[in-house]
Amino acid sequence: MISESSSFVKGMVLGGLFCVFVTLIGHNKMGHGSKAHHHEHHHIQAPNIEDVSNLSEAERMELSHSIRVYCIILVKPKDLGNWAAVKETWSKHCDKAEFYSSESVKVFDSVVLNTNDMWVMVRNAYKLAYERYKDEYNWFFLAHPTTFAVIENLKYFLLKKDPSQPFYIGHTVKSGELEYVDGDGGIVLSIESLKRLSKIFEDPDKCPEQGGLLWKLSEDKQLAVCLKYTGVLAENAEDSEGKDVFNTKSVGSLIKEAMANHPQQVVEGCCSDMAITFNGLAPNHMHVMMYGVYRLRAYGHNFKDALVFLPPADSDND
């Protein structure tokens, strides 16, 4: 009897220890995985409010005007509905916005690229943008017609960043060794990055004109590869709480996810207050976003912002 009960106890202790061991390994594996992922992810943050709150009105205006954003929106004829919506909404807030289309379209003006290949479109758009505007703008934002962007929040994000440094910013994704910006969330390049990109365009080995015949990379990845050769690395943009500011999904989708994942903190946990982009929007939703971002607000909440942006002329939906 005694030998049985002592065996039982020994068994229990062993079983318990084994359980703890297995649990720890399980947790470590997850922890290690995400830790490793975390370390190799490049993060870049929005400026802190304290850095910029002691400026005069004139200084604020000057600062606001010094950040000049040129917007490239890549379109195809099938995107006509979204093209119109982007034209009528957020693109009005870029310092200059141009639509680069695969082919010419009667209804709208655009820079015609004469190709349907996405990578060739991206490449040529950047090339043209650099050639024509390198002395006029210091930041270059590339987007798709399903994206909604808040350019003022982009400018705030770029406030303390020197455009003569090589920046390549957005919502990043890791694919093996390559970290690239997901085009769905919008891509931001500083003038320095665009300069280096233009140079490497001349090297067809490092940065091919058409993606390889057999092995084609997506245009987002191809861009990252070309930039990497010039020493420019992708950085994931976050606010002061670590939330992504470039989003590859719409507010509605993110809210739906939040309702499922953390129902007690849906709005607080969903998205950044300083979000720059959302993606996957139908034309009607762009108009709702325009109202929601630039007009709808709760009376009596005032902000001491470091920058000042005035509403654009000839517009009534913002």
Residues between 146 and 205 with contacts to other proteins, criterion CB under 8 A: 150, 152-153, 155-156
Q: How far apart are CA 245 and CA 300, in angstroms?
A: 26
Burial class (CB in 10 A: 0-12, 13-18, 19+), 205: exposed
Interface with other proteins (CB under 8 A), residue from 73, 129, 234, 274 = 274
Strands 168-170 and 235-238: parallel
Q: Does 72 help bind other proteins (rule: CB under 8 A)?
A: no
From 109-117, 194-202, 220-228, 254-262, give the range in contact with other proteins by CB under 8 A. Answer: 254-262
Could you tell me the smallest distance in angstroms from the CB atom of residue 315 to other proteins? 9
Q: Which two tokens stand for residue 58?
A: 């004139």
Nearest distance, CB of residue 287 and other proteins, angstroms = 5
Distance between CA atoms of residues 276 and 283, nearest Å? 18
Residue 99 touching other proteins (CB under 8 A): no
Binding piece for other proteins, criterion CB under 8 A, among 124-132, 160-168, 185-193, 250-258: 250-258
Who's near 261: CB < 8 A, 6+ residues apart?
269
Closest distance of CB 296 from other proteins, Å: 6
Q: Are 42 and 236 in contact (CB under 8 A)?
A: yes
Q: Is residue 49 involved in binding other proteins (CB under 8 A)?
A: yes
Query: Considering the complex, what minimum distance in angstroms separates the CB of residue 261 from other proteins?
Result: 12
The verdict on 127 binding other proteins (CB under 8 A) reads: no
CA distance 248 to 231: 25
Q: What is the rounded CA–CA span in Å between residue 33 and residue 37?
A: 6
Choose between 117 and 257: whose C-beta lies nearer to other proteins. 257
Please, are residues 304 and 54 in contact by the beta-carbon 8 Å criterion?
Answer: no
Question: Judged by CB, which is closer to other proteins: 34, or 164?
Answer: 34
Decide if residue 259 touches other proteins (CB under 8 A). Answer: yes
Least Å distance, CB 19 to other proteins, is 4
Q: Which of the residues 286 through 315 are near other proteins (CB under 8 A)?
A: 287-311
In the list 270, 277, 279, 281, the residue contacting other proteins (rule: CB under 8 A) is 270
Q: Is 55 in the site for other proteins (CB under 8 A)?
A: no
Strand-pairing partners, residue 83, are: none
11 is an interface residue for other proteins by CB under 8 A: yes
Beta bridge partners of 237: 44
Tokens of 205: 């080995």
User: By CB under 8 A, which span of 73-81, 172-180, 199-207, 280-288 interacts with other proteins?
Assistant: 280-288
Nearer to other proteins, 203 or 241 (CB): 241
| Residues in contact with 169: Cβ distance below 8 Å, sequence separation at least 6, in sequence order | 44, 181, 187, 188, 189, 234, 235, 236, 237, 246
Start-to-end C-alpha separation, the chain: 85
Q: With binding defined as CB under 8 A, does residue 54 bind other proteins?
A: no
Distance, CA of 182 to CA of 230 (rounded, Å): 19
Q: Which is nearer to other proteins, 72 or 286 (CB)?
A: 286
